[in-house]
Amino acid sequence: MIRRARVLTPKGWIEGAEERGVLAFRGIPFAQSTAGEARFRAPRPVRAWSGTLDASFFGRAAPQPGTRSGPLARWSAVPPAGAGEDCLNLNVWTPAADHRRRAVLIWVHGGGFSHGSGSFHLYAGDRLARRGDVVVVTFNYRLGVFGGLDLRGLGGGASADTNFALRDQIAALEWVQSNIESFGGDPDNVTLFGQSAGAMSVGTLMASPRGADLFRRGILQSGAGDNVLSVEQARRIAGLLLEKMNLDAGQGDVVRALRKLNWATLLRAQLELRAEHGLRLGMLAWQPVIDGDLVPGLPRARFEAGEAMKVPLLIGTNRDEWKMFTATDKRRRTLDEGTLRKYLTQTFLGSREPDSTDVSAAIAGARTEEALSLYGTGRDGAACSPSEIWNRIQTDRVFHYPAVELADAHTGRGAPTWFYRFDWKPPLAPNRVGACHALELAFVFGTLRTRWLRPLFGMSSKSVTLSDRMQAAWLSFARTGDPGADGDVAWPAYECGQGRTRVFGGHESTDRTIDPALKEFWKGSPEVRDRVLRGRF
């Protein structure tokens, strides 16, 4: 017999159910629908309701590309309720709604700011809640054009806000502050953790004036503080989107016209724009934009200036991040040396068609040669193939060394910092997949034991033990601010210039030093850092 549980919140009664030893409350609205006139505006507080809200089922996901049909349905982040603009809802897993003030972990999902939901089965919070006696919260935020379109400068733009996705995230955090004690959580002991776009969001909120007092600790998995757009980049993307819909940015109230469109129409234009935004590889069209409000500047620069939250930080990356993007791409997996050089030159130059007569092209060529020298030999001393070089360079450029620089900046200001690297490779296609982007998620949430994930992760004692170790570290960090406090393996804090790193999985030691030559190569790279610090971002 299913045991029901009722909780009284400031907005009304909510009823959930006991599942696998914890109480689960799904689909709780934390803000009103964002449809119609609410589109492109900051989220509005949810209204009180009469009676009891049934929190037995997940709510809608944000509008996004995707499918729920066929064999891929189980991998879709869109729940059975579907997608829609009434998507601002969250889910709570708690050992008991008894006002005991447990540590709270709030998850910010990834998906490139264009896909995902807090309802995705990988993010089920029952195992963490049960194992650690903590409260776990997952939530949705607006995605794609609905979450990141910058309308400043367009007709009617004064009626729109900026950074809708970040504002949704802040609204969810504010809901936790006002409500989580009723679910047995402590609003003064909140850890915000996320992966990929979610980690980038956490880093951005740590550097935002609006982030203060909403959480006490941050965990960044495969994301750092570099993923924001300049005003010029965001404006160009908005112009390209309008072109897809045959709208003139300079004619009439464009924002009003966009609010009248069906959300599916906007989503189609977003998909058409996907391959044409012209951003550097690794940048995302719908990531946050510098707006002088939520995002005053590049987050990492604010960390370096001492303007970010001085709270405990746990940050890290996966050893083979980029293999997630090449595992199914035969062209990238079979690169020849000439094509690799072309890719690298374009990457360092930042344009699709480099001009060999330009000075910047010469600089990009020099950096290409230096990169090939640094990455030509693998960690085992053997020569690397062009595809392996490409994967290693992109992993370090987009994920690993931006995380290192953020860790350096944070610990340099006296804030406690811990660094990790995830090295575990699946028994299924270990070389092609490697320890790729997002592979650590099932280990952190303990969901690798679910039936449909077993073929990928296996059920060996080593993988289960690794999941237990990672969960113990994440839970220890949430409870105490130190990921090694409750573990059986010492985890020394990260120190700027020493790069002490905890390795999960693989065969390397649990305490290693980040390669100083590679760190120096990526430090201050002109493709990001110089433009920012010299005021050209």
Question: Of 75, 234, 48, 98, whose CA–CA distance to 153 is shortest?
Answer: 234
196 is catalytic: yes
| Catalytic entry in 109, 115, 410, 437 | 437
Are the beta carbons of 94 and 135 closer than 8 angstroms? Answer: yes
Q: What is the Cα gyration radius of the chain?
A: 23
Which amino acid, one-letter code, is at 471? Answer: Q
Q: Which helix (H) or strand (E) holds 173?
A: helix 164-179
Domains and CATH numbers, the chain: 4-311 (3.40.50.1820), 318-533 (3.40.50.1820)
* Catalytic-role residue among 321, 388, 405, 440: 321
Per-residue pLDDT of the chain (537 residues; tens, 9 = 90+): 578 999 999 999 999 999 989 999 999 999 999 999 999 999 999 999 999 999 999 999 999 997 554 445 566 788 988 999 999 999 999 999 998 999 999 999 999 999 999 999 999 999 999 999 999 999 999 999 999 999 998 888 888 999 999 999 999 999 999 999 999 999 999 999 999 999 999 999 999 999 989 999 999 999 999 999 999 999 999 999 999 999 887 777 999 999 999 999 999 999 999 878 888 888 899 999 999 999 999 999 999 999 999 999 999 999 999 999 988 877 878 889 999 999 999 888 864 444 445 667 888 889 999 999 999 998 778 899 999 999 999 999 999 999 999 999 999 999 999 999 999 999 888 889 999 999 999 999 999 877 767 777 777 888 999 999 999 999 999 999 999 988 777 888 998 777 789 999 987 777 777 888 999 999 866 554 443 333 333
Q: How far apart are CA 321 and CA 170, in angstroms?
A: 28
So what's the pLDDT on residue 80?
A: 87
Enter the tokens of residue 299: 């987050």
Looking at residue 535, its pLDDT comes to: 34
Which pLDDT score is estimated for 228?
96
Rounded to 5 degrees, what are φ and ψ at 328?
-110, 15
- Note if 277 is an active site residue: no
Do 247 and 342 touch, CB atoms closer than 8 A? no
- Catalytic-residue membership of 15: no
pLDDT, residue 75, reads 65
What H or E segment, with its residue span, contains residue 202? Answer: helix 197-206
Q: Nearest Cα to 196, choosing from 437, 467, 477?
A: 437
What pLDDT does residue 178 have?
97
**Residue in 114, 196, 222, 467 annotated catalytic:** 196
